[in-house]
Structure 1
Amino acid sequence: MKEFSFSWRALFAAALISAVPAMVLADSVNGEVHKQPTNYIAIAMFLAFILLTLGITKWASARSASTKDYYTAGGKITGFQNGLAIAGDYMSAASFLGISAQVFTSGFDGLIYSIGFLVGWPIILFLMAERLRNLGKFTFSDVASYRLGQKPIRFLSALSSLTVVAFYLIAQMVGAGKLIQLLFGLDYLIAVVLVGVLMVLYVLFGGMLATTWVQIIKAVLLLSGATFMAVMVLKSVNFDFSALFEKAVEVHPKGDAIMAPGVLISDPISAISLGLALMFGTAGLPHILMRFFTVSDAKEARKSVFYATGFIGYFYILTFVIGFGAILLVGTNPAFKDAAGELLGGSNMAAVHLAKAVGGDFFLGFISAVAFATILAVVAGLALAGASAVALDLYTHVLRGGNVNEKAQMAVSKGAVIVLGLVAIVLGIVFEKQNIAFMVGLAFSVAAATNFPILFLSMYWSKLTTRGAVIGGAMGLITALTLTVLSPTVWVDVLHHQTAIFPYKYPALFAMIAAFVGIWLFSVTDTSAKAKAEREKFFAQFVRSQTGLGASGAVDH
């Protein structure tokens, strides 16, 4: 086998992160990170990306005057473009750095994340995409509240959406700060402020149109870089997968164990709970669901999911190859192998080391810039989803009862973007020293246990009532939050208690049960006149979603 050449500093290894995230591979770097010598190649490439995307933002700002333009890019994004943008939104630095790191440390068990993420897309394709587009206008709250009480449903939807956005943003901001500190040689504070400012600029002036194109460009760069890395790994073993796996087993400290299950997750409850969070959490992420309103009709929405599934599936195959390629790197370079014990304890930077090995400083700079650009694209989508929850749900429908003109709504939305940017910067600074891996896990658990049940049942269950949706959704939200705090991830790792009250790291299984049982119980026992009217309205909604009426997004509440 052709050996990789790899030159690196011992300090670089010592700076590597202390733990692969416990849940959805948060875009975080935990532990002490030391500022590295300035990587001018990475900085130059990142500046080029920033200039390009700021130019796109200026172009988009002239085309984002109305609320429809601002929130949904005027519904003019094609299915292919939207599919690539969804892939860009979904292929975060967590996926690129985290999944490859999981394969690097645990072998085949790392694929549970890839499979879990990917399986969520057929659910969206076959069960949700068409009805979302036919029944919604700007956000998934439009769909959930179509046949139910506007204020209570929108309030709960906004609360759960903001919870998901907040925890996701914290992980992204801390991860961005640590990555730029490690890779670019800049201070953590500068990195966090830079991400926050750019996030505000993209969303404040460009809206969904700018955010979409930022995600498309980032997706193309990430797919290109990952493809090059995977091809170089396979080239080193003459494109023989058997040789790749055999050599990985030879050099990995865990030996044959990396080819068998049980290295990462050893009990069935945790495996089921993690799988549920990954699959159904995807179908409840507000910044992902919001993308289905950027296309013209249900047909383009289905195309979006089809293309996104293809791009994401291909990407996850690449991360698998990259992870095993990093294992070979450890076995073939003495300097790297000396640090194997520390690195195999959980290095989110395995892909970055591999980039250095296969492409030298230039490609390392490219991958470093792409990893940071990835976080920028994701936080822009999160900020837009958070702003829509504040302006459309809380302000327009909950506080003002829908009596708000478009100008006022836009003003509130842009104000919310600025506030979210400031909050993100502050939280990124506050949580710098904390293990924030659980936060992305909590975001997926909340999405799976609150957003998904309400949205899914509002589209498919005729007996759903406002009372059931609100109480059951609140039960899922509270259960997810409570069990996360009581789990080993927080109770032991963060709060430093000896043993956890809740023994499992992943609360999704229990939170989803609480949500679905609560929704069912409090709906079937609701005999009010309002509940009867809501059940009758379901059939009108069903006909509308099946015939495509309302595909323009003009939901009349």
Structure 2
Amino acid sequence: MSVRAVADATLEQSNPILNISVFLAFVAVTLFIVIRASRNNRTAADYYAAGRSFSGPQNGFAIAGDYLSAASFLGICGAIAVNGYDGFLYSIGFLVAWLVALLLVAELMRNTGKFTMADVLSFRLQQRPVRMAAALTTLAVCFFYLLAQMAGAGGLVSLLLGISDRLGQSLIIAVVGVLMIVYVLIGGMKGTTWVQIVKAGLLIAGAVAMTIWVLALNGFSLNILLESAVAASTSDPKDAILGPGLKYGANPWDFLSLALALVLGTAGLPHVLMRFYTVPTAKEARRSVVWAIWLIGVFYLLTLVLGYGAGALVGPETITKAPGGVNSAAPLLALHLGGPVLMGFISAVAFATILAVVAGLTITAAASFAHNIYANVVKRGRGGDDGEADPNGEVRVARRTVIVIGVLAILGGIGAQGQNIAFLVALAFAVAASANLPTILYSLFWKRFTTRGAVWSMYGGLAAAVILIVLSPVFSGKPTSFLPGVDFAIWPLENPGILSIPLGFLLGWLGSVLDRGTEDRRLAAEMEVRSLTGYGAEKAVEH
């Protein structure tokens, strides 16, 4: 069956008018929330950190909303439906990565920083070079992550409207980008947080309802569900979807590289770490961690049933040929279960997922540029605290940066159409683990870490990850590559993590060992006390 035939069949079964009505209703509700939340955006702390006014449970839901992206819902369900066990490895990797981030860096960074990841990294090191490097790595991570979300938005709305041509999907991505810009310009972090809270509740509720429905159709027996998935599988042999190797069996090094990126990448994702600055105290930060762990853990368990359920009830061939490709598995499963009404609701939830995550990514990138490059490098201020950088001017720069990032995200999302968004997110994780994580860990736990080590680590890890991605099959040489018409891929793996992550750690160590400059050991000691105990953290975030 051709892509056009699948699109036509989907359009006949679904109700585009109902779908677009649900979609527009959600946009209207969330815009109302954003406008209400924006009334108190008066200071930089309001715009960047929502005035630190959210409780632990609220922030826990927002963290879940930030972390459970379109890759978690659309990409992983599709990966499990098509690749079975190998697709479920994404769920395992994302969940383990979250635990690593929370236990290793989250609270320590919250106790030390003020608005952004660079506040932590520059606490005991030279401000200007470290902030510049941290801002650039943050922008790079956010850009790769945005590619995945925008590509998912194009595929999702294309499925809703039955659009299969590239021009139509490109127009949809542009509309999503414009909405994202409006959300962030108006609402700032407070509006973004409320959208994430609403989205997390809807996403988990929708996933629970669909999971119960799928299990009910299979006698509440996971064994019967798996047997049905095997019967519908297009793999050879059919039961290959129940074991490892269907996707990564030919090249286990690719899986190892992916696993390293997933497990270590979350701890370097600036938009997730920034969420811990929206609560008033370290105690509330710990409460938000507990809530987030439960919400995220339950959701990733549900993806196993949803993915195999989509494979069994919809079929891998139908999924891969539908508009949006593998990213259409969850909406098509909803269409099979509950018809156009459930499909419209689940698609609206998925769209809410995309909007919430891209808004969080965009405000993080804008804050990083305005707070670090404009306020602390261009204006030579210290976050605006000493009067050299006007906080209002900083927020104005952040708003302009939002527009630039939105345009770049639209163009990148158009180029990324057809890619599995779970895989695209894995590239963002690889960049985060290579460029940010080594510097974060060294700053928190190694007293001899120096400015040279930080700069070498961030620039070296970033360059290695990006260069390997450009030289990989992801970028050229395959029908699904960014540039399918040419082939200059010389790096055989699709994920750079296996080389770029160790290189980032090595460069951080080497730069510090070779640096004969004297770093302030008193600041290192102060940072250690503050990160472990929270002493001085409240004073740091009041400014």
Matched, 1:202 2:183: yes
Q: Structure 1's 522 and 99: CA in aligned 2 closer, same or farther, altered over 3 A?
A: same
- Please give the root-mean-square deviation of Cα atoms over the aligned residues, in Å: 2.8
Moved over 3 A (4+): 8-12, 33-38, 185-190, 336-343, 425-429, 432-441, 494-500
Between 57-66 and 432-441, report the one with greater CA deviation.
432-441
Q: Which one of the candidate residues 375, 381, 384 is aligned to 2:354?
A: 375
CA deviation vs aligned residue, 1:402-423 (integer Å, no higher than 9, x gap): 1202211111111212222233
Instruction: Give the superposition deviation at 1:523.
Output: 0.4
Quick one: distance in 2 between partners of 1:43 and 1:56? 20
Q: Is the 8 A contact 1:133 1:297 kept in 2?
A: no
Matched, 1:524 2:503: no
Amino acid of the structure 1 residue aligned with 2:248: I
1:41-60 correspondence to structure 2 within 5 Å:
41-60=18-37
Instruction: Give the superposition deviation at 1:67.
Output: 0.8
User: 1:276 matched to which residue of 2?
Assistant: 260
State the percentage of identical aligned residues.
47
Q: Which one of the candidate residues 249, 257, 260 is aligned to 2:230?
A: 249
Amino acid of the structure 2 residue aligned with 1:542: E
Gapped regions of structure 1 (runs ≥ 5) = 1-7, 17-32, 331-335
Instruction: Give the superposition deviation at 1:300.
Output: 1.7
User: 1:463 matched to which residue of 2?
Assistant: 448
Q: Is the 8 A contact 1:181 1:191 kept in 2?
A: yes
User: 2:83 matched to which residue of 1?
Assistant: 106
Q: Which one of the candidate residues 111, 122, 147 is aligned to 2:99?
A: 122
| Secondary structure in 2 matching 1:488 | coil
Q: Is the 8 A contact 1:36 1:184 kept in 2?
A: no
Between 167-176 and 72-81, report the one with greater CA deviation.
167-176
User: 1:549 matched to which residue of 2?
Assistant: 535
Q: Which one of the candidate residues 397, 400, 415 is aligned to 2:376?
A: 397
Amino acid of the structure 1 residue aligned with 2:538: S
Q: Is the 8 A contact 1:35 1:182 kept in 2?
A: no
Gapped regions of structure 2 (runs ≥ 5) = 382-387
User: 1:486 matched to which residue of 2?
Assistant: 471
Between 147-156 and 320-329, report the one with greater CA deviation.
320-329
Amino acid of the structure 2 residue aligned with 1:440: V
Quick one: distance in 1 between partners of 2:487 and 2:406? 37
Q: Which one of the candidate residues 174, 177, 184 is aligned to 1:193?
A: 174
Quick one: distance in 1 between partners of 2:475 and 2:287? 40
Amino acid of the structure 2 residue aligned with 1:441: A
Quick one: distance in 1 between partners of 2:487 and 2:393? 52
User: 1:540 matched to which residue of 2?
Assistant: 526
Quick one: distance in 2 between partners of 1:384 and 1:504? 32
Instruction: Give the superposition deviation at 1:249.
Output: 2.3
Instruction: Give the superposition deviation at 1:426.
Output: 4.0
Instruction: Give the superposition deviation at 1:316.
Output: 1.2
Q: Structure 1's 162 and 499: CA in aligned 2 closer, same or farther, altered over 3 A?
A: closer
1:163-178 correspondence to structure 2 within 5 Å:
163-178=140-155
Amino acid of the structure 2 residue aligned with 1:302: R
Quick one: distance in 2 between partners of 1:149 and 1:436? 40
Between 458-467 and 439-448, report the one with greater CA deviation.
439-448
Q: Is the 8 A contact 1:135 1:555 kept in 2?
A: no
| Secondary structure in 1 matching 2:476 | helix
Matched, 1:418 2:400: no
Quick one: distance in 1 between partners of 2:493 and 2:350? 31
CA deviation vs aligned residue, 1:429-455 (integer Å, no higher than 9, x gap): 4x2667586653332111010111111
| Secondary structure in 1 matching 2:370 | helix
Amino acid of the structure 2 residue aligned with 1:218: K
User: 2:385 matched to which residue of 1?
Assistant: none
Quick one: distance in 2 between partners of 1:114 and 1:94? 10
Q: Is the 8 A contact 1:125 1:306 kept in 2?
A: no
Instruction: Give the superposition deviation at 1:338.
Output: 7.8
Instruction: Give the superposition deviation at 1:248.
Output: 2.3
Q: Structure 1's 364 and 67: CA in aligned 2 closer, same or farther, altered over 3 A?
A: same
Matched, 1:259 2:252: no
Q: Structure 1's 191 and 38: CA in aligned 2 closer, same or farther, altered over 3 A?
A: farther
CA deviation vs aligned residue, 1:320-349 (integer Å, no higher than 9, x gap): 10111122214xxxxx68858857x96321
| Secondary structure in 2 matching 1:319 | helix
TM-score (ref. length: structure 1): 0.88
Q: Which one of the candidate residues 451, 476, 480 is aligned to 2:461?
A: 476
CA deviation vs aligned residue, 1:176-224 (integer Å, no higher than 9, x gap): 2332123135743542333222212221121111100101111111111
| Secondary structure in 2 matching 1:347 | helix
Amino acid of the structure 2 residue aligned with 1:210: G
Instruction: Give the superposition deviation at 1:388.
Output: 0.3
User: 1:183 matched to which residue of 2?
Assistant: 160
Quick one: distance in 1 between partners of 2:52 and 2:226? 46
User: 1:3 matched to which residue of 2?
Assistant: none
Instruction: Give the superposition deviation at 1:553.
Output: 5.7
- How many positions carry a matched residue from both structures? 525
User: 1:361 matched to which residue of 2?
Assistant: 340
Quick one: distance in 2 between partners of 1:126 and 1:420? 31
Q: Structure 1's 10 and 70: CA in aligned 2 closer, same or farther, altered over 3 A?
A: closer
